[in-house]
Amino acid sequence: MSTQAPDFPSYSPGILSLLPLYYVGWADSILSPSEVKLIRNKVNELEFLTIAEKRQLVEWTDPSNPPAPDLFKHWVNVLRKQAIKLPKGTKKSLVELGLEMAKKSSTDQEILQWQTEGAKEALHEIEEALGIQNSQSFQTIFQDQESTEPGFNIKTLKALLDDKYADTRDRMRTLLSDPAFKLETIREKDDYRNQVLTWCKMLADRGFGALSYPSEYGGKDSMGDYIATFEMLGYHDSSLAIKFGVQFGLFGGSVMWLGTKKHHDKYLADIGSLKLPGCFAMTETGHGSNVRGLETTATYDPKTNEFIVHTPNEGAGKEYIGNALHGHMASVFAQLIVDGTNHGVHAILVPLRDDKGNLLDGRRVEDCGYKLGLNGVDNGRIWFDQVRVPRENLLNKFGDVDEQGNYSSPIENPSRRFFTMLGTLVGGRVSVPRAGLSSAKTGLAIAIKYALKRRQFAPKDGMPETILLDYPSHQRRLMPLLSKAYALDFALTHLTHRYVTRTEEDVREIETLAAGMKSYSTWFTTKALQECREACGGKGYLAENRFADLKADTDIYTTFEGDNTVLMQLVSKGLLSDFKKSFHDEGFMAVLRLLGSRVGFTLTESNLFFKRNTDIEHLVDPEFQLEAFKYREQKLLISVSQRMRDYLKKKIPGHDAFLRCQSHLLVLANAYVEHVILKQFINTVNAVEDKKLKTVLKRLCDLYALSTMEEHKGWYLESEYMHPNKSKAIRRVVTRLCKEVRNDAGLLVDAFDIPKQCLAAPIVL
């Protein structure tokens, strides 16, 4: 028998024959349910494997216990070295590589086992079924050179979009491409809900649900990876995204961020694995976005050391609660009453069902029924009738009641305590727009790919019909949306980074930014999907081409995790507060700065050359674009501040003054968000080193900036920021940029790397 080559692990020939397949299967980040089943079945059928070898190989398919990372590094080194040594003319195949490794570690007699057609055929079946011949890890082993697409490198752009969470995104792409996650039209809500629950369990089994939790509870302590997972689900099925978000983000997040270690130890592991399905019971029928006005009560009973959770009237029932029909526990937000004193809204864990799924006494749950979309989510209404729960169920990070019935809080001010509590849950406002943008990207990919293949009308009889995307009107419909999708992607990446690295000092600013980005981005999703549907004509109206579900499922994004209009008011209030605070903190210097801003505005408005400058070099200059966006934001801020001050001087109550300025404030919030987005787009372009890619992204950035200015041209003209000739020049440049971006449009949507099974529309497959 030949000696074991030092390059190889000390595995038997049978194990080595399958090692390349196992490496690529795991190195591509995840083994899906279908792959696990297939591999186990095939392994058990292989006659040349011993019982011990089969046991080892089956164990390696356990998604909850994958091979260690350091073993991967060793494997790839071994496989690369052996791949180079393959005889010339040998097909690049993981099977051939595995057989060669087995051969080198076998006796002459044993070698015969690996040369049988039956053995080869069985191994090839596994390789083909796993679909890994074109995977990145396959190319890594065989030293394939990166292919560069015409114009720019798609892989480089994909890496930029995937950011630091590329591994998680690729794992999700692999999983969502599995037949177990095949998208189907299921119109019966109970069947649809069960399918979504099954999918959610598959995600939990592979560790995705617990990603944001500490490692001792099965997680990776990575909110960024959780958000990336949620974003990827936006390409697939929005019902699954929302179910996932309710279970692991809202319910689990409330326990994580509002509870303390005793709650973490008791619940987090089971929440992350979906052994404990739960829901997030905040919203009430009668109060909607007014969380502070919730009527549900949690009254402490010192005699029994319990809280009594109660719904005082029908309108105080918890409304639109996701996971209400599958959930066994709820994080209930209620007015905390101790010894007759109301300490404001707190969260408390209330069991809903027993281990068999039976509803417990004192709870009433009703199905919300069919909705415009998201019918795979089991939304329900919940009422409580004098339900008693242990004192320990109070999520007590920001407010606690001791055994003597004394209330205490690390934050004395009730208002500050309330907003601090809600601020810990802002992750939803970071996650939702990312999933919504994924849906918009899906719609754009379908519409653009369709427009690149669909022809309509010929210049003359006998000539080929014109491709849809060659029509300037079609370019005008889709290219600005594509540029804004990229702009939002980079801005949301910026928001995510700020959120996951937040400190107490900047949390308020992040909350304002999250509220604004959530609103602006989800409004964009709604608009983009409608335009994309229309751009596909009657084909876009067919359910099979996805727009029906994409539009219906994301429509609610504009009003959950905060109604967009309400959130934009919060943004403008935050801007006004910061503006006011700068005067309070800096006094005379703030006045000088304001006067300087006004002087700057006046100089700009009176500078005839600037107002009339129509040179393209000027219009695509990032300094001009940023100045124009900043001017709009700052002038709106100063003017609405002056209006508010004038109303208050006239003794008009603050609430009434705010209402009179409400529309003005919404425009201000919109201008603020657009300015942030442009800054992040320009920063991203500046950081790109690849010259070809930089050129493409600069063109997209210019299109976003100038098409946004074109959208607000009425305001710029009214404010005398620009002359009508300059406005016309911007329109001409936007048209030119749309034509130029059209040349890269197919590659730009390919860079999203949306799995084909998620794209799914027959018109582009």
pTM summary value: 0.85
- pLDDT for res 465: 81
- pLDDT for res 63: 74
Residue 160 pLDDT class (50, 70, 90 cuts): very high
713, containing H or E segment: helix 713-718
Burial label, 740 (beta-carbon count in 10 A; 0-12, 13-18, 19+): middle
* 590 pLDDT above the threshold of 80: no
- pLDDT for res 129: 62
Burial label, 134 (beta-carbon count in 10 A; 0-12, 13-18, 19+): exposed
Across 239-243, average pLDDT: 98
- pLDDT for res 504: 83
- Residue 587 or residue 618, greater confidence: 618
Residue 100 pLDDT class (50, 70, 90 cuts): confident
Beta bridge pairs of residue 698: none
Quick: pLDDT tens for 383-417.
999 999 999 999 999 999 998 899 999 999 998 89
C-alpha dihedral sign at 753, 758, 761, 765: positive
d(CA 325, CA 179): 27
Average pLDDT value over all residues in the chain? 88
Q: What percent of the chain has pLDDT over 70?
A: 86
Across 553-566, average pLDDT: 93
Range list of H helices, 375-504 = 414-423, 427-451, 472-500
Across 81-108, average pLDDT: 70
Quick: pLDDT tens for 255-278.
999 999 999 999 999 999 999 999
- pLDDT for res 42: 81
- pLDDT for res 258: 96
Quick: pLDDT tens for 30-78.
667 777 787 888 888 887 788 888 888 888 787 777 777 677 667 777 6
- Residue 259 or residue 121, greater confidence: 259
* 317 pLDDT above the threshold of 80: yes
d(CA 435, CA 30): 21
Quick: pLDDT tens for 301-314.
999 999 999 999 99
Quick: pLDDT tens for 444-501.
999 999 999 998 887 777 777 889 999 999 999 999 999 999 999 999 999 999 999 9
- pLDDT for res 12: 79
What are the structure tokens assigned to 183, written together? Answer: 């998208």
Across 566-594, average pLDDT: 70
Long-range contacts of 536-544 (CB under 8 A, 24+ apart): 536/446, 536/447, 536/450, 536/763, 539/450, 539/763, 540/446, 540/447, 543/185, 544/185, 544/761, 544/762
- Residue 562 or residue 534, greater confidence: 534
- Residue 368 or residue 561, greater confidence: 368
- pLDDT for res 591: 45
- Number of neighbours of residue 248 by Cβ within 10 angstroms: 28
Nearest to 235 by CA among 442, 375, 434: 442
Pairing mode, if any, of strands 278-281 and 329-338? parallel
* 568 pLDDT above the threshold of 70: yes
* 581 pLDDT above the threshold of 60: yes
Residues marked as catalytic: 561
Residue 344 pLDDT class (50, 70, 90 cuts): very high
DSSP 488-536: HHHHHHHHHHHHHT--TTTHHHHHHHHHHHHHHHHHHHHHHHHHHHHHT
**Least-confidence region, from 30-34, 156-160, 353-357:** 30-34
- pLDDT for res 103: 75
DSSP 595-621: HHHHHHHHHHHH-HHHHH---HHHHT-
Across 718-725, average pLDDT: 92
- Residue 93 or residue 196, greater confidence: 196
Residue 379 near residue 246 (C-beta atoms within 8 A): no
Identity of the highest mean pLDDT range in 122-126, 440-444, 575-579: 440-444
**Least-confidence region, from 126-130, 344-348, 710-714:** 126-130
What are the structure tokens assigned to 492, written together? Answer: 């949301």
- pLDDT for res 587: 52
Domains in the chain, start-ordered, CATH in brackets?
Answer: 13-141 (no CATH), 257-424 (2.40.110.10), 428-756 (1.20.140.10)
